[in-house]
Every structure is written in C-alpha cells, then in structure tokens.
Amino acid sequence: MKPFAVFPLHKKHDLVQVESFEHSRFLAGGTNLVDLMKHQIESPDQIIDLSGFEQAYDITDSEQQVTIGTMVSNTELADYAYQQPGLSLLSQALLAGATVQLRNRATTGGNLLQRTRCYYFYDTTRPCNKRKPGSGCAAINGFNRNHAILGTSEHCIASHPSDMATAMTALDATVHTCNANGETRQIPVRELYRLPGDTPHIETHLGADELITAVSIDKTPRGTHIYQKVRDRSSYAFALVSVACTMQVKDGIISDINLAFGGVGSQPWHAQAAEEYLRGKSATTELFEHAADVELSSAKGSGYNDFKIPMLKRTLVHVLTQASEHQNQHPEHEGAIYAR
Ligand code: SF4
C-alpha cells in the first residue's frame, strides 16, 4: 500500500493509505461524484475525503495574484469575486451556474473536474464511450440538443458543463496540483483538459494520484467583463451557449481581449483564433461577425444541436458589441456590466 504524501495538509491524519489511485476518487463537495455513484457510473473502491484540508479553504490575495484553495465553495468564491472588479467575470459565471444550495456545497477544484451532463452518459442502458470505452456513442445519432459543436470526435460529442471553468479559461487561470509523491506542478486551465479523440473517458492531463490544491488568477487589468449565458429557462440550467469576455479598447482599437465559450465545446473553449483576429483592430460589428466565423469555421453540429452555431455567433457579436461600446464610453473601466 502506498502512502499518499499530500496528506500532511490534513488535520486528522498525517498520511492516508491508498491502495490504488486508479480505483479511488477524491471527494470534495460531492455534488457530482455522489450523483455519479447513485447512478452506478462511478463505483470507487476507496473515497479520499478532502474535507480536512484546512489550507485548501483559503483565498489568499497578493499584489500579483489571487490564489483560491481547492475546497473554497462556489458561494464563497462568488462573494469574494463580486467585490473584486478584476474578478467580475468569475462572479457572474458562478452566480449563473447553480442554485444557492449547490453553490454552498460545490468546491473550486470539484467544479473544474465535474463531468458531462450528456443524458446517455447517465443512462447505463445506453452505449457510451466515455462511461464504457469502446461501447459506442448513443448521442451522435440520438437526441443531442445539449451537445458540443467544437472539439468533438466521432467517439464523443459531449459538452463540458462548467460556467466557472469557462470564466477561468477566459481569465487564463492556473491550476496548482500535488501528487502522491509530493511533487507539485502548475497547469494553465487552458491546458488542463483533453479533447475526446478516441479516448473520451480520459478528460484531463492530471495523473490518477494528482490532486488540484488551488487555482490562481493574475491580477492583470482586463477592462470590461461580460459573462453572457443562454439557456432553456432563465433560472438555473446548463448553458446552451455562453460567452466569457474581457475587453480593453483604446482609441477605438481593441488592445486586449480574452474569450471563452461554454456549453459548446468538449472542453471549456478558449476562443484563441477569434482573440488573435480581433486584437489590434478597430471595433466594428463587421469585425465581430468575421471573428465569430473564424472561430466557428471548425464547428460541427450533430442534428438537434445545429442551432448552436448561429446562436453562438449571435451571442458572441452581441457581447463584443456591448463590451466595446462600454469601453469606448468608459475607457478606464475595470469590471462587469450587465449584458442583455
Ligand atoms: Fe457518451 Fe460522449 Fe456519446 Fe455522451 S456524447 S453518449 S458522453 S460518448
């Protein structure tokens, strides 16, 4: 049996014995893992309870960055981010993401690692390559209205469900990890997730024994923040399409922009091609439409979700228009405005 070296952080035990990390799961808030266990999609031999990680409940604020412990709840993080203009995007995404009850339980690390809400993933009577590799994908020719249009493969078209991860992708956050040997590393959130390819069951670049201990975000001025979420009902629901955007405009020119999409990608989608297309150019509606076309050139619908392609384009153009108009009127502004 191998001792798990991260556990000196633990208030109850110095070390916890873990038989096999492949067959174990870390438990944080449990808002996704417990559901998966009830549906018999996950049946770990061992649960590694993270509730005693005292240092993982802290938010620390330095001159350069904010560091959020992995066990910080979504409620606490939303409240904190709400008071920090430079984290407005994160606050908007978290508040749009789930009910108060869920936000009270859900944690920062757990939110990043939540699994897809593909209906067939949760239905153990249907084939699913993510749940059972090699069994097929019931969604590709099934009811795929909520599914992804970017980054998909012929083996899986599931979308990533997290609003928070979408905002953190736009904010270029960094994940801090530690493994069973006590080795630490830092991974940009933009590089945390894997595309499904022919192994959709492997969703991140984390090792089986690698724990997210914290997430940090640089305190860089980013201008106007907008998180626009389109969903089936105005109360809590997963995004059909969401756009996370920060933009700075100087003398009518887009000097800085960060963009990510939710609800449309097999991972929180960093819209890098659109960012590069927009940077240094004059903010016009025509430019925004071209930027959407550039980013969506590889988008592919699967039938019921074809509507997401024009919906994402319209949402993106709307958000970019709102952000640029606001920046033109308030060039020194840092923080959120409310998009409609
Ligand atoms: Fe499974 Fe992915 Fe297909 Fe959904 S889309 S059934 S998660 S393989």
One domain, residues 166 and 255: no
One domain, residues 246 and 319: yes
Q: Confirm if 156 and 137 have CB atoms less than 8 A apart.
A: yes
Residue 13 has pLDDT above 80, yes or no: no
Give the lowest-confidence range in 20-24, 115-119, 260-264: 20-24
Q: What is the CATH number of the domain that holds 173?
A: 3.30.465.10
Residue whose Cα lies nearest atom 3 of ligand 1: it is: 137
SS (H, E, C) the chain: CEEECCHHHECCCCCEEECCHHHEEEECCCCCHHHHHHCCCCCCCEEEECCCEHHHHCEEECCCEEEEECCCEHHHHHHHHHCCHHHHHHHHHHHHHCCHHHHHHCEHHHHHCCCCCCCCCCCCCCCECCCCCCCCECCCCCCCCCCCCECCECCECCCCCCHHHHHHHHCCCEEEEECCCCCEEEEEHHHCECCCCCCCCCCECCCCCCEEEEEEEECCCCCEEEEEEECCCCCCCCCCEEEEEEEEEECCEEEEEEEEEECCECCCEECHHHHHHHCCCECCHHHHHHHHHHHHHHCCCCCCCCCHHHHHHHHHHHHHHHHHHHHHHCCCCCEECCCC
Q: Examine residue 187 and state whether it is found in any structural domain, yes or no.
A: yes
Task: Identify the top-confidence range among 49-58, 91-100, 271-280.
Answer: 271-280
Tally the domains of the chain.
3
One domain, residues 69 and 35: no
Q: Which of 195, 218, 241 is the last residue of a domain?
A: 218
Choose between 47 and 206: higher pLDDT.
Answer: 206
One domain, residues 73 and 204: yes
C-alpha–C-alpha distance, residues 44 and 42, integer Å: 6
Q: Examine residue 148 and state whether it is found in any structural domain, yes or no.
A: no
pTM of the model: 0.94
Q: What is the torsional sign of CA 199, 202, 204, 209?
A: negative
Beta bridge partners of 314: none
61-79, pLDDT tens digit by residue? 999 999 999 999 999 999 9
Q: Examine residue 60 and state whether it is found in any structural domain, yes or no.
A: yes
Q: Examine residue 120 and state whether it is found in any structural domain, yes or no.
A: no
Choose between 7 and 176: higher pLDDT.
Answer: 176
pLDDT at 1: 47
Q: Examine residue 83 and state whether it is found in any structural domain, yes or no.
A: yes
Q: Examine residue 264 and state whether it is found in any structural domain, yes or no.
A: yes
One domain, residues 214 and 289: no
The CB of 71 under 6 Å from ligand 1? The reply is no
Q: CA neighbours within 13 Å on the CB side: how many for 154?
A: 0
Q: Which of 198, 218, 238 is the last residue of a domain?
A: 218
pLDDT at 182: 84
pLDDT at 160: 97
The CB of 158 under 6 Å from ligand 1? The reply is yes
The CB of 176 under 6 Å from ligand 1? The reply is no
One domain, residues 282 and 231: yes
Q: Examine residue 62 and state whether it is found in any structural domain, yes or no.
A: yes
The CB of 148 under 6 Å from ligand 1? The reply is no
One domain, residues 192 and 98: yes
C-alpha–C-alpha distance, residues 290 and 300, integer Å: 18
Phi-psi label, residue 4: left if phi above 0, alpha if psi -120 to 50, beta otherwise? beta
One domain, residues 177 and 201: yes
One domain, residues 238 and 324: yes
Q: What is the CATH number of the domain that holds 28?
A: 3.30.43
One domain, residues 189 and 232: no
- CA geometry: angle at 173 spanning 262 and 337, to 5°? 60
Q: Examine residue 90 and state whether it is found in any structural domain, yes or no.
A: yes
Q: Residue 296 corresponds to which tokens in the numbers above?
A: 């969506």
- Ligand 1: centre distance to CA 316 (Å): 27
One domain, residues 288 and 177: no
**Region 181-187 average pLDDT:** 92
128-152, pLDDT tens digit by residue? 999 999 999 999 999 999 999 999 9
Choose between 263 and 340: higher pLDDT.
Answer: 263
Give the lowest-confidence range in 193-207, 255-269, 276-290, 324-338: 324-338
Domain span at 331: 224-336
Give the lowest-confidence range in 3-12, 47-56, 124-133: 3-12
- Ligand 1: centre distance to CA 124 (Å): 11
Q: Which of 186, 201, 218 is the last residue of a domain?
A: 218
C-alpha–C-alpha distance, residues 181 and 195, integer Å: 27
**Region 195-223 average pLDDT:** 96
The CB of 50 under 6 Å from ligand 1? The reply is no
The CB of 119 under 6 Å from ligand 1? The reply is no
- Ligand 1: centre distance to CA 264 (Å): 14
One domain, residues 272 and 207: no
